Homo-oligomer: A and B are copies of this chain.
Amino acid sequence: MADLARLAVHLASFPTELDLGDLIPLARRFDLAGIGLLRAHLERYGLRDASRLVRDHGLEVTSLSYGGFFTAPDGAERRARIDDTRRAIDQAAALEARCLLVAAGGLPPGSRDLEGARHMVEDALAIVVDHAASAGVWLALEPHHPMYAADRSVLTTLEEALAICEAFGRDAPIGIGFDTFHGWWQPRLDELLQRLGPERLRLVQIADWPRGLTDPRYGRTVPGEGVVDFPLLRRRLTGLGYDGPFELEVPGGEVAGRDPAGWLRRLVEGWALRA
């Protein structure tokens, strides 16, 4: 049976209209260890109140989403996104979050320059990394499934993200958030995780990949209902010395909105009993 003491849930699993004041106690009721937040939640609830609420319920903020989206069509917009990422770093620091997830951003509008876009990401990281270091915040690059390369993240593989981590070196607070839905198919996963090491693996997000995916936007499924070999993943991560959280992240749409407790139960039971 899966280790529940390190289980967390990302609130992206629920519609963003739901109130943090309901969701946080819910996570507590399920004995979860932590919670992932969207910045939209902070805007609505206020950073200070959100932070207090999480702490009062004995939860860790396992991740904050997102900084990044660095691939903008012009310099002014790129600078705006860098500034926004600095603000996200400050928010993550105030929450004492385990990491700030960083999404690369897709191809800029009208552009086909994939390599150029990838360089934008590295250049922007070079600019924000000192701010992250002095704030004591880990940036966790999140490689996205290649089907999102055009629209959402030119950073697609663990290997690519690892190359960036290695270029910045061990002293830089740049690690990786590995999401099983995005990355389950990758060859040489074991070798790449070994090279990354447990400290720089800031987060493992859990969602399953269903057979016969028809819509990339709503593709994820409950752990145990898809093809991801979670027992193998856990053995690998244990072998690696990873002792960070497993953060469930499966957007449940309407179902999760109607019955958040029921949805969270499905996720937790999927992980505990079937994954």
Binding site for B on A (CB under 8 A): 107, 112-114, 118, 145-147, 149-151, 154, 156-157, 159-160, 184-187, 209-217, 226-229, 232
Contact = CB atoms under 8 A, between A and B. Distances in A.
Contacts of A210: 150
Given A112-B228, A156-B186, 9 more contacts: A146-B185, A147-B147, A147-B213, A149-B184, A150-B209, A150-B227, A151-B211, A156-B185, A216-B216
A147 B229 contact: no
Contacts of A211: 107, 150-151
A214 B118 CA distance: 24
B212 A147 contact: no
A107 B212 CA distance: 12
Contacts of A114: 184-185, 227, 229
This chain: copies in complex: 2
Closest 6 A-B residue pairs measured CB to CB? A149-B185, A112-B229, A146-B185, A147-B147, A150-B227, A160-B187
Contacts of A186: 146, 156
Contact of A145 (B118, B146, B227, B232): B146
Contacts of A157: 187
Contacts of A215: 214-215
12 contacts: A112-B229, A112-B232, A145-B146, A146-B186, A147-B213, A149-B185, A150-B212, A156-B185, A156-B186, A214-B215, A214-B217, A215-B215
Nearest to A156: B185
A186 B232 CA distance: 26
A228 B214 CA distance: 22
Contact of A229 (B113, B185, B228): B113
B147 A159 contact: no
Nearest to A182: B146
A107 B113 CA distance: 33
Contacts of A217: 214
A150 B181 CA distance: 12
A154 B184 CA distance: 11
B112 A227 contact: yes
B214 A151 contact: no
Given A145-B147, A150-B209, A229-B114, A187 B214 contact: no
